[in-house]
Amino acid sequence: MYPVDLIIAITYSADPPTVDLLREKGYEVYVPASIDEMLNDAWKKVAEKLAQNPYPLVLQEVGGYFSNWTHELGAYKNFKGCVEDTANGLWRYEA
């Protein structure tokens, strides 16, 4: 089993009871305050995890929110890429 270092919730669909439950179970959950923060700042949380941990990290994505930041994340040797789950997200990566 691989560790889950960070869960980044989608701003508009984060369910507070679920966020609380995940935190109670010991997961670090980050809920961006806005879509702008999600698109422009959330990648920095992933970069922090990459800097803190020597093991390989894969970003499981839903929506393509990190598509503009793969170059920055790719600068870390332990970043192994993104797995995108939606067609719209894939199109963001292809753009």
pLDDT for res 2: 78
Res. 30 pLDDT band, cuts 50 70 90: very high
pLDDT digits 0-9 by tens, 48-76: 999 999 999 999 999 999 999 999 999 99
Residue indicated by tokens 């994505």: 61
pLDDT for res 95: 86
If you average pLDDT over residues 19-36, what whole number do you get? 97
